[in-house]
Amino acid sequence: MKKLFVMLLAVMMTVACALGALADVTLEEAKQIALDHAGVAAEDAIFTKAHHDYEDGRVVVDIEFYTGTTEYDMDVDLKTGEITDFETEEHGLIASDGSITLEDAKQIALARIGMKEEDVRFKKAHADRDDGRNVYEIEFTVNGMEYEFDIDAASGTILDFDADIDD
């Protein structure tokens, strides 16, 4: 078992070195390229994924981030810096009265950690008032972790986020 682990580690290190050697674009540069393509400022984005992948015969960085209620998913070619795939998806659309629903708030929280509702166990999901504003308090567990969110009920902005090992 130990030999298998050492061999697997060696293969992983070799692949990582090979990806780095092939890259003309760093991971941070790829993230900036993605932000520029989406027209999003770095301080407004929350990244949920940024890792090397192999798509259509080329090495890319698979990047996901969101801002507000929009999730961005794209691939950046590590050799050229070209965007090879680009998708957006709206989560938690603002209701006509200028607020979001509890279901929207739950979806915003789930999108933050890249999970689906059927993957988690909700412990708390309700409206509250905090610091003079209407918020949704969302709490759930998944894979031994507990996640807590305070989400602004007017805008869908995540005001507070905490992740801890579930006791």
Domains 2-90 and 102-165 share a fold: yes
pTM of the model: 0.48
In angstroms, the CA 108 to CA 103 distance is 9
Note the pLDDT tens digit of each residue in 113-154.
Answer: 999 999 999 999 888 887 778 889 999 999 999 999 999 888
pLDDT for the residue 69: 65
106 and 92 in contact (C-beta within 8 Å)?
no
Q: 102-165 maps to which CATH number?
A: 3.10.450.40
Topology of domain 2-90 in CATH is Nuclear Transport Factor 2; Chain: A, (3.10.450)
Locate 30 and state its tokens.
């790829």
Domain ranges of the chain: 2-90, 102-165
Residue 159's nearest CA partner among 68, 73, 96 is: 68
Locate 16 and state its tokens.
């990582």
pLDDT band at residue 23 using 50, 70 and 90 as cut-offs: low
